[in-house]
């Protein structure tokens, strides 16, 4: 039976909520963990299936992406950084952190990044409707999905501490690691 000695964690949220900032901090503090920015990973592993002219972004071939990521997830200690989350197999995911940012704060962040107005509006709507949170709740068991505020630098600090302490508890509860197989 294959096992992973450390958990896999998805850090998700609407663009601009702070996924990369959180993953970078956690990976810096815990050297055993690898931060995978899924957009970069998809580029590096040629997991695209066309281009969306309207959104000016590549369309990810999700099957190909999951196939490429699975061997890494089976080894464990992966921080997945992406706005989409429900495509990763439940048996390989231990925690899903959904970041939440107040509309005004998110608006300013996206504006600062030079996003076009339609892209800002689309992302603010996505945040208001809780699309990423709903996707996480539909994709994974309720008890592994947590929503955390990401409005300030202090929020990042406390969220990172929370995730690190969650990992410590996971290690105590899973001294032999977690199974990569489907539990029956």
Binding site for ligand ATP (CB under 6 A): 13, 15-21, 83, 109, 150-153, 155-156
Residue 15 Cβ, how far from ligand ATP at the closest point, in Å?
4
Nearer to ligand ATP, 74 or 149 (CB): 149
Nearer to ligand ATP, 4 or 19 (CB): 19
Rounded to an integer, what distance in angstroms lies between the CA atom of residue 42 and that of residue 58? 10
The per-residue DSSP string of the chain comes to --EESS--EEEE-STTSSHHHHHHHHHHH-TT-EEEEHHHHHHHTT-EEEEETTTTEEEE-HHHHHHHHHHHHHH--EEEE-S--TTS-GGG--EEEEEE--HHHHHHHHHHTT--HHHHHHHHHHHHTTHHHHHHHHHS-GGGEEEEE-SSHHHHHHHHHHHHHHHHHHHHH-TT-EESSPP-
Q: Tell me whether residue 50 is annotated as binding.
A: no
Q: Tell me whether residue 177 is annotated as binding.
A: no
Bridge-partner residues for 11, per DSSP? 81, 97
User: Two tokens at 37?
Assistant: 């920015």
Q: Tell me whether residue 19 is annotated as binding.
A: yes
Nearer to ligand ATP, 101 or 180 (CB): 101
State the residue number with the nearest CB to ligand ATP: 18
Residue 164 Cβ, how far from ligand ATP at the closest point, in Å?
16
Residue 2 Cβ, how far from ligand ATP at the closest point, in Å?
30
Nearer to ligand ATP, 45 or 119 (CB): 119
For the chain, how long is the longest CA-to-CA vector? 50
Residue 4 Cβ, how far from ligand ATP at the closest point, in Å?
24
Nearer to ligand ATP, 79 or 156 (CB): 156
Residue 31 Cβ, how far from ligand ATP at the closest point, in Å?
20
Q: Tell me whether residue 75 is annotated as binding.
A: no
Binding annotation for ATP: 16, 18-21, 113
Binding annotation: 16, 18-21, 113
């Amino acid at each position: 039976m294959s096992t992973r000695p450390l958990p896999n964690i998805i850090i998700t949220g609407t663009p601009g909520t702070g996924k990369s900032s959180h993953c970078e901090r956690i990976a810096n503090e815990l050297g055993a963990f690898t931060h995978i920015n899924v957009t970069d990973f998809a580029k590096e592993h040629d997991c695209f299936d066309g281009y969306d002219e309207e959104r000016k972004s590549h369309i990810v071939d999700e099957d190909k992406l999951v196939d490429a990521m699975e061997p890494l997830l089976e080894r464990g200690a992966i921080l997945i950084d992406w706005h989409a989350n429900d495509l990763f197999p439940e048996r390989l995911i231990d925690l899903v952190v959904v970041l939440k940012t107040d509309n005004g704060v998110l608006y300013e962040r996206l504006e600062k990044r030079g996003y076009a107005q339609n892209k800002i509006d689309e992302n603010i709507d996505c945040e208001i409707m809780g699309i990423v949170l709903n996707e996480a709740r539909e994709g994974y068991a309720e008890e592994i999905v947590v929503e955390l505020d990401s409005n300030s630098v202090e929020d990042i600090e406390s969220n990172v501490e929370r995730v690190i302490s969650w990992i410590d508890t996971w290690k105590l509860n899973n001294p032999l690691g977690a199974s990569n197989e489907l539990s029956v």
